[in-house]
Structure 1
Amino acid sequence: MPHTINSKTMKIKNLLTILLMLPFFVAQAQVASETEILEEFASPGVRGMGKSQGVEIRYERLPGFDIDSKSDDPRIGDGSGRVERHNKFAVKAYAPLMNKPQNKLVIGFNYELEEFNFDGLTPTSYPLYRYLEDKNLKSIGTQLLYLHSLNQRNFYFIRVKGELNGDYTRDDINVSDYLKGTVDLAYGWKKSPDYVIGVGVQWGYTFGRQRVYPGILYNRTFNPSWGVESIFPANARVRYNLNEKTLFYAGYRLEGASYNLYVNEPPLSEYKDLEFRRTDIKGLLRMEREIYDFLWFAVEGGFRQYYRHRLYDKVGSRDELITNDLAGAGYVGVEIFLVPPRRFTQK
């Protein structure tokens, strides 16, 4: 026992020593990097980051987890069940419309869906579970990203995104019935080729309901192997470059979604337009690996904890019709994506 205590004490002392010395090493790295001359116009990227993706195909799956639901409406009541699996599928594509040294304009398209499969559903099961069973909640969208470099040190970017989010169960609908909009604005400073910091805001659905969220951009490469990429508080991850063809990440990511639902079965059909919102946080480990030049794949896994998972009585409402409590669960995702060929990125 004394040997175990001494061992733990030594580990704690070593950890404290590392933490105390860390500011010195970071300061030394910063002094060295600040002396480098920036020869290109400023951008959010730093050396060592993964390549930009042109086309991405992703599949993600969560195994079974429990769900408990509560409602103040006596017609709906409370319920509980088990989600046997939760699947997500996404296809995204990006293409440059303008690619000049100081101005870049990129257009993007995305198609995403998620579905829930419940265990042991019957005609008397909780109404929300019956409705969501095998229902494809879809998101179809397009976006424009404009990046302008003011000089070698300063830049800003604007992203405007529109999506049609919902269950797509009605024929007599207008585009406005499913339309969701997101706007991102950011201003950044490129301190060196290895260090970028910025501030920004988003008007979007990261936490379920559309509102304004602040953000801090921090991208930093400390040496050829280690770096940090983050837009706090939405995401942050540590990067390890094994080599130019293999990258590892560890961190977290906040995800949110909002779907407009038009239910045709009572008692939920008594509400004209419902809104289903979710927000969750993922702790993740990720590996990216080159298959051949422009073709890469990624494997990601971790733990997802739901923060909010609720149904509202109408779109944009703050009145919760059903509050869901979902157990945390592990997840795994696989991804394949295209990047610019090496001959286009090497000078």
Structure 2
Amino acid sequence: MKKNYLVLLMAILLSAVSFPLLAQEEEEEDWDMYDDLELVDESKVKRFAKPTIVGLSPTRFFSVSYDHQLPYDMNLSSARFPASGNSGWGVDEAAPISESGRVNFTGGIRFNSNVPVISKSNLVWQSGLNYMRVGYNISNVEQSGDASGLTQVLDERGLNNLNWTNTFFVPISEENFFIFQGALDLSGDYGWDLQPFNTVRWSLAAVYAKRVSERKRWGLGLARTYRVGNLNYVPVVMYDVTSADRKWGTEILFPARAHGRYNFSKNALLLFGYELEGQSYRIDGFSVGNNSYEIRRGELRPRVEFQRQLSGPFWMHFQAGYRMDWTFNADELEGSREFFRGFFGTQEYGMINNLSNTVYFNIGLSFVTL
């Protein structure tokens, strides 16, 4: 009897276990539940333009470099106040030299960053903090009675630029896209106290572009910029192309910069062309009350640059060129308010300055992405 009870109990347990297993097996083999699903139509998937083309020089996430100019001559006029009130020096006027000197050294450390904040197929947002130091060593200074003393300010304090730039790549189709870029600049002879926050200058650019193929893209736009010292509004032309053999190409964002490119290999390349560099720098010693006295520093730099991979994402670059003085004149801005002179304005300057041209070098190390 006990054996019969034991056999019966085992039969009940096996039945209890087998029923859900059989039910589960039937569910897994029942494909009727998928009858209403449709396959994805790839022709209806939204595709977007890629932000780059093949062959371009690598994008620098972080970069540290050292910039150095060879000696040159500096000639400065006296300072007139207020500069924007028709009592300064005319644009074409040869203002008398009241101060001159030999600049033995110009340059300093530069730091640049360009970090992805959002990286999606339909939006790429990159943000970066940048710093540029322009120190001076000036000797053999000669001054007249109305000299401004700017050579001493530059020699002791130099010029600093702190910049925050945000770039947005917004594709609207598989070929067409927009690029928007905004920047804030704090520039002057300030120290670590960063006093002149009321003279932050802003720049903005917008470009509509087309990615024709994986080897070519072009674009047209407009920019509000301080690239040559003065506030200006300029058209923008972008033209990047790589040859079929991926040896030759261009990297152009006119008028800011334009380069030809030769790729020795995927690990080394040469750029040759020019770049415009500049900003409006507040001079605290000359700025009276709420008026900002600003040097409109602008440079044209024809140059060649060699880039080479060191290891993994680390690249080095060596740049050599000719620094040509575009402007080193100065304005006094009443109430720190900016005004537009552009290329053809006749507003007078508060100071007419001249720097002789010279050779310069720049060497740096970068963390990049290809």
Partner residue of 1:110 out of 130, 142, 149: 130
1:45/1:219 contact within 8 Å kept: no
Structure 1 window deviating more from structure 2 (49-58 vs 132-141): it is 132-141
Q: Distance in 1 between matches of 2:60 and 2:178?
A: 20
Q: Which residue of the partner structure matches residue 26 of structure 2? A: none
SS of the residue corresponding to residue 78 of structure 1 reads: strand
Counting only pairs closer than 5 Å after superposition, residues 272-283 of structure 1 correspond to structure 2 as 272-283=291-302
Partner residue of 1:57 out of 64, 67, 90: 64
Q: Which residue of the partner structure matches residue 24 of structure 2? A: none
SS of the residue corresponding to residue 45 of structure 1 reads: coil
TM-score (norm 2): 0.74
Unaligned runs of 5+ residues in structure 1 are 1-38
Partner residue of 1:68 out of 72, 75, 100: 75
User: Aligned in 2, Cα 1:131/1:311: closer, same or farther, shift over 3 Å?
Assistant: same
What is the one-letter code of the residue matched to 1:225? K
Q: Which residue of the partner structure matches residue 188 of structure 1? A: 209
Residue 322 in 1 paired to residue 329 in 2? no
Per-residue displacement from partner, 1:213-260 (whole Å, max 9, x unpaired)? 111000011231100110112211110000011010111111121111
TM-score (norm 1): 0.79
2:100/2:141 contact within 8 Å kept: no
Partner residue of 1:164 out of 182, 186, 203: 186
Counting only pairs closer than 5 Å after superposition, residues 151-230 of structure 1 correspond to structure 2 as 151-168=173-190, 173=195, 175=197, 177-222=198-243, 223-230=245-252
Count of residues in Structure 1 that have an aligned counterpart in Structure 2: 299
Q: Distance in 2 between matches of 1:270 and 1:94?
A: 36
Q: Distance in 2 between matches of 1:216 and 1:44?
A: 16
1:262/1:272 contact within 8 Å kept: no
Q: Distance in 2 between matches of 1:240 and 1:70?
A: 44
Tell me by how many angstroms 1:270 deviates. Answer: 9.3
What is the one-letter code of the residue matched to 2:135? E
Partner residue of 2:104 out of 71, 84, 95: 84
Q: Distance in 2 between matches of 1:238 and 1:63?
A: 25
Q: Distance in 2 between matches of 1:51 and 1:159?
A: 19
User: Aligned in 2, Cα 1:132/1:270: closer, same or farther, shift over 3 Å?
Assistant: farther
Unaligned runs of 5+ residues in structure 2 are 1-45, 82-95, 340-346
Q: Which residue of the partner structure matches residue 142 of structure 1? A: 164
Report percent identity of matched pairs: 22
1:153/1:191 contact within 8 Å kept: yes
Tell me by how many angstroms 1:143 deviates. Answer: 2.1
SS of the residue corresponding to residue 59 of structure 2 reads: coil
2:317/2:365 contact within 8 Å kept: yes
Q: Which residue of the partner structure matches residue 118 of structure 2? A: 98
Structure 1 window deviating more from structure 2 (80-89 vs 293-302): it is 80-89
Partner residue of 2:317 out of 294, 298, 302: 298
SS of the residue corresponding to residue 350 of structure 2 reads: strand
Q: Distance in 1 between matches of 2:235 and 2:156?
A: 35
Larger RCO of the pair (alpha carbons < 8 Å, separation 6+): 2
User: Which runs of at least 4 in structure 1 moved beyond 6 Å after TM superposition?
Assistant: 122-125, 268-271
